[in-house]
Amino acid sequence: MLDLPDPRRYTEPVYVKNSLVTTIYATIEEGVGGRVKDAGAMIIRVSELEEQGLRIDDVEALAPALTDPSWRLESAALEVDADGTDVFVRGRLVATVPQTCGRCLETFPAHVEVPIDVRLVPRPSSADSVELGADDLDVDFYADDQLDLGRVVETETTLALPMKPLCRADCRGLCALCGANRNVVRCTCAPRPPDPRLAALRLAARPAD
């Protein structure tokens, strides 16, 4: 349904359906002065989810969810299903995200595979009424019958990034003395002598005779 006073604004997501595939396209809200508000928003009205759910594999439709322009979505296969008021988003994404190597500090494009298995429930009206159990720690919320799929995609991609990214498994890192990138230049610095304070630990780590 289009908001006729402003034809550029969609009040509902746009669906293209065939017998097997349902594709959802991004909905963008116009902010004050015509500026885009939350360009990564992809709103699904939970009450309008059909029994067979949604299958989303259109990379161009999901790409705006990654609001950092340097992040690139390579492939996507998501399913959105409703069970009463609970919504389940499952599937897999592949993205390329610039990262800084934890050893040599060079920037490199990281290939990130993102498994997604998220349960979303209506946001309670009051935080005092929420009691979380052990199985509820991975639960997210939606509000006003609107699930922002873009936020789910960006959050799950961010959580999938490595804690210590490496440009390659055998990265040699930086020289501790001169700071040279040992992947690029041959460092001639003498090895740093071991810290004598760690001698006891080295002895404890030796295998017993």
How far is the C-alpha of 86 from the C-alpha of 138, rounded, in Å?
13
Per-residue pLDDT, averaged over 72-96, amounts to 93
Q: Which run of H or of E encompasses 124?
A: none
pLDDT in tens, 91-146: 999 999 999 999 999 999 999 999 999 999 888 876 555 566 666 667 888 888 88
Q: For the chain, which residues make up each domain, given as ranges?
A: 14-93+116-164
Handedness of CA 3, 7, 8, 14 (dihedral sign): positive
User: Which of 84-88, 159-163, 166-170 is least confident?
Assistant: 84-88
pTM here is: 0.69
**Where does the pLDDT of residue 3 fall: very low under 50, low under 70, confident under 90, or very high at 90 and above?**
very low
